[in-house]
Amino acid sequence: MRAIHELSQQYGFKVVEDASHAIGGRYRDGAIGNCEYSDITVFSFHPVKIVTTAEGGMALTNNSALAEQMSLFRSHGITRDPLQMTRESEGPWYYEQIALGYNYRMTDLQAALGASQMQRLQEYVERRHEIAARYTQELEGLPLVLPKQAEFSYSAYHLYVIRLDLDAIIPLTHAEVFQSLRERDILVNLHYIPVHTQPYYQKMGFECGDFPNAEAYYKTAISIPMFPTLSSDAQDKVIAALHDVLAK
């Protein structure tokens, strides 16, 4: 992010930071979301994220003009602020639509759920670190590439993604390892399919092979269970399944 920010200063572009998975994390001694290296930081509160409001998300900025603009977009472009109105108020009921906006208002129930979860954010992230540390210890030595933590950051560990060493597990394939874990009731997943391989983007001219690192990642990655309420027994089951499948 710091390098991207430096480029934005050099070339004059704006930075929107997608921190959907990173709430509770830190980068270079600052909380992710402080917009030190971006104009806007976006979080997701989807049900599977670290903090949820059932759906929706949050956009943060240190720029008051951007904050006002996002506030207008949130509610049909409507304002009750006299300073933003073009005419004198006609009464306490008066409002003006000064832009074309959307209906992005969060409900009170969603806000209450999110606010209550925010009180436990540190607890959630610390528990994820405990789970990640145990995975890293118990899976060492298997034909895997395990997640690495940069020394200048503190991950929120929304996901714990392992990458298979495909040459070391021949004749097993990526799909076979994935399916073998699913057959053992380990609810693994794959995050994510490279965007440029999707039909919508291929119609725009993108082709397979355009981004080889993303494609190489996709061919080897598997997300194993990671959530704060994962019990030690359940984690033992995941670890044992990986040892069993990869030993074959």
Query: Quick one: which of 209, 213, 219 has its CA closest to 167?
Result: 219
248 is catalytic: no
Identified catalytic residue from 49, 148, 203, 248: 49
Angle between helices 108-118 and 121-139 (to 10 degrees): 60
Neighbours of 193 (CB within 10 A): 11
Contact 1, 98 (CB under 8 A): no
- Strands ordered across the beta sheet of 160-164: 144-145, 160-164, 221-224
Query: Quick one: which of 147, 150, 152 has its CA closest to 135?
Result: 147
Q: How far apart are CA 28 and CA 150, in angstroms?
A: 10
Residues with a known catalytic role = 49
